[in-house]
Amino acid sequence: MQVRERIAQIETELTATERKLGTALLLDYPFAGLDTIQALAEKTQTSSPTISRFVTKLGFNGYQDFQRHLIEELKEGKRSPLDLHQSDRPLMGGVLEDFVTRASRLVSDAAASITEAQFNRVTETLADPKRRIHIIGGRISDALALYLSRHMRQMRGGVYHLPADPEIWPEYLLRMKPRDVLFVVDFRRYQPSLCELARRASEGQGARVFLMTDKWLSPVSKHASEIMATPIDSGTVWDSYSGALVLIEAMVTKIAEDTWDRTRERIEAWDAMRLDNEEMQNDK
């Protein structure tokens, strides 16, 4: 179990000082916990004995044990396909059947990775026509970001998919206003440039950052107000984004249902423009 999950599990048992300490750890997770115990005590205005009691409540045998656990989490977050490959892993049936079984489990787990309250909060924010939505992903995960942006564009205006080239990002940053949303999709083997983009969007432009990531948490998480940590570990050479895709499809479905009158009008206008364009191409 991850440290952040242990904190959530015993939250009701913590003292006010321990809750303050837990919040500080989660705000800069997992890096805050890699400081020396003295530095962490000074930063959180607590004490070394308080931190020792806190990590004991989390089930660790002292602060060093706590830090070793965090370091292992960081290593997990940087695993590549070379690390993930297991030539001797047992198959459950044929290869196709085995993979579908694993992917189905990820889809089921994805439903439990986000609460209904957070799901509703995120979809309501993305549906708000007063907010502009800026969407981007990493080297592979940008396929999910593009999928989300194309659905969102059919339902509402003010949706922008950022290009992969960081040289063009200033144009989009200058366009961002307070209350706008930067939606980032970033899974392990995280992209450092996305973290810097999120920092500038939140600190410089006042935009809100929503993050879809995995349980090891992209560094973007330190700038995000909403974090959706979905399962991706398929037990094969490749991580699977099947659970994340289902979550995105659930989000766009809810947004469409909740704003159906407005969405229907936009899709009708969108299709009319698209069909007119096809007719013009046929007339040439």
Q: List, for residues 88-110, the tens digit of each pLDDT value.
A: 555 566 788 888 888 888 888 88
Q: Which amino acid is at 265?
A: E
CA dist 44 → 5, 18, 25, 220 (Å): 20, 10, 9, 22
Q: What percent of the chain has pLDDT over 70?
A: 90
56: amino acid identity, one letter: T
**Given this model, what pLDDT does residue 283 score?**
60
Mean pLDDT of 216-238: 84
pLDDT score for 100 = 85
Q: Which residues contact 106 (CB under 8 A, 6 or more apart)?
A: 231, 232, 233, 234, 240, 242, 243
User: Nearest-CA neighbor of 236 among 121, 86, 100?
Assistant: 86
Q: Can you tell me the distance from the alpha carbon of 235 to that of 233, in angstroms, rounded to the nearest whole number?
A: 6
What are 35-73's pLDDT values in tens digits? Answer: 899 988 888 878 999 999 999 999 999 999 999 988 888
pLDDT at residue number 149: 98
Sequence-separated (6 or more) residues with CB below 8 Å from residue 44: 20, 21, 24, 51
Largest CA distance in the chain: 79
Return the bridge partners of 283, or none: none
DSSP string across the chain: --HHHHHHHTGGG--HHHHHHHHHHHHTTTGGGGS-HHHHHHHHT--HHHHHHHHHHTT-SSHHHHHHHHHHHHHHHT--HHHH--TTPPPSSSHHHHHHHHHHHHHHHHHHSS-HHHHHHHHHHHH-TTS-EEEEE-TTTHHHHHHHHHHHHHH-SSEEEPPS-GGGHHHHHHH--TT-EEEEE--SS--HHHHHHHHIIIIIH--EEEEEE-TT--GGGGG-SEEEE-----SSSS---HHHHHHHHHHHHHHHHHTHHHHHHHHHHHHHHHHHHHHHHHH-
Radius of gyration, CA atoms only, the chain:
22
**Structural contact between residues 40 and 33, judged by C-beta atoms closer than 8 angstroms:** yes
End-to-end CA distance of the chain: 62
Instruction: Give pLDDT tens digits for 140-156.
Output: 999 999 999 999 999 99
Weakest mean pLDDT among 116-130, 133-147, 220-234: 220-234
Q: Exposed e or buried b for every residue in 121-146, given b needs 16+ CB within 10 A?
A: ebbebbbeeebbbbbbbbeebbebbe
Which amino acid appears at position 243 of this protein? G
Residue 111: the pLDDT is: 81
Domains and their CATH numbers in the chain: 3-77 (1.10.10.10), 116-270 (3.40.50.10490)
Give mean pLDDT, residues 187-193: 91
On whether the CB atoms of residues 201 and 173 are closer than 8 A, the answer is: yes
